[in-house]
């Protein structure tokens, strides 16, 4: 069996930036064990698999090297880029996923992801958090993931966490048992409103280069803090990437609560670049 695999740098303006993902279009599903083995072989933070699910719609799944995950922003963006550039599929794209129906549209050279926004509540830090990060957060909030606020963007950039200790932390949301940690601060360069990093060794990704799902939590949080709904966000990993974000719907602009997004949507725009193509030969 021959399969085509596409490698895309998402949230990137050129190759070797942003977050790399593999995209595998299928006619019908492979066994889960085969998809998990392929994701482990690719050894990228996520591999996306998709099958047609009606006109302009696909069923989309994501696997890390260790497990299937319920939501992934950068691999969704990469999938949209492959459908648009390799298969010539224009117009809004809809994806049926474990997290519900997701939508992607092109606006110029940006792919705009439309995901549910996630609120956050102030929380006591889990035991061992400061030791795991190598820094003590000014504030800790709980959303799907732990959201840790530092004083400066430079502190975020300088972090050298202990990934083994992060993996051993208790999870943030009750529905997300594996610990995943977002670290964030206001931007300091006059260009980016927000700076962040994302650590998820518990699901086989010690540091994710650029993370759409993290921004579904960061966007309502910082919209409330900064008093505006449009933000330019920079994920300060080694590769780095920029997201143009907008919080739509939910409460009025003057009263954006971080705890309850009221059905708001997180729109996250990014660019993508094809890095390579491969034909994979599977037995059977």
Report residue 11 as tokens.
Answer: 């949230």
Given the residues 17, 27, 46, 86, the one annotated as active site: 46
Instruction: Say how many C-beta atoms besides its own lie within 10 A of residue 215's C-beta.
Output: 32
Is 70 among the catalytic positions? no
Residue-wise DSSP of 7-27: EEEES-SSTTSSEEEEEEE-S
Report which of 49, 86, 84, 44 is spatially closest to residue 66, judged by C-alpha positions: 44
Residue 48 dihedral angles phi and psi, to the nearest 5° = -100, 135
For 255, residues 6+ apart whose C-beta sits below 8 A from its C-beta are none
Q: Are 194 and 159 in contact (CB under 8 A)?
A: no
Report which of 11, 203, 26 is spatially closest to residue 34, judged by C-alpha positions: 26
Report residue 241 as tokens.
Answer: 């990437």
- C-alpha to C-alpha distance for 70 and 147, rounded to whole angstroms: 19
Q: Which residues are the active-site residues? A: 46
């Amino acid at each position: 069996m021959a399969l085509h695999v596409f490698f895309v740098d998402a949230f990137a303006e050129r190759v070797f930036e942003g977050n790399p993902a593999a995209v595998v279009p299928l006619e019908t599903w492979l066994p889960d064990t085969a998809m998990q083995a392929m994701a482990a072989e690719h050894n990228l933070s996520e591999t996306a698999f998709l099958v047609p699910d009606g006109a302009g719609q696909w069923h989309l799944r994501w696997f890390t090297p260790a497990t299937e995950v319920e939501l992934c922003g950068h691999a969704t963006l990469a999938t949209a880029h492959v459908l648009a550039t390799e298969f010539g599929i224009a117009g809004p794209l809809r994806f049926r996923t474990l997290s519900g129906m997701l939508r992607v549209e092109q606006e110029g050279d940006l792919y705009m992801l439309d995901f549910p926004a996630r609120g956050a509540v102030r929380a006591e830090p889990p035991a061992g958090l400061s030791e795991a990060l190598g820094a003590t957060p000014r504030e800790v909030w709980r959303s799907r993931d732990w959201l840790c606020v530092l004083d400066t963007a430079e502190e975020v950039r300088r972090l050298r966490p202990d990934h083994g200790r992060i993996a051993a932390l208790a999870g943030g949301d009750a529905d997300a048992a594996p610990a995943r940690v977002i670290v964030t601060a206001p931007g300091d360069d006059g260009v980016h409103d927000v700076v962040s990093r994302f650590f998820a060794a518990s699901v086989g990704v010690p540091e994710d280069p650029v993370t759409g799902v993290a921004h579904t939590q960061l966007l309502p949080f910082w919209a409330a803090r900064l008093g505006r709904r449009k933000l330019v966000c920079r994920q300060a990993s080694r590769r780095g990437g920029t997201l143009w974000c907008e919080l739509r719907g939910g409460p009025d602009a003057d009263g954006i609560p971080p705890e309850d997004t009221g059905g708001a949507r997180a729109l996250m725009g990014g660019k993508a670049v094809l890095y390579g193509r491969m034909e994979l030969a599977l037995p059977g």
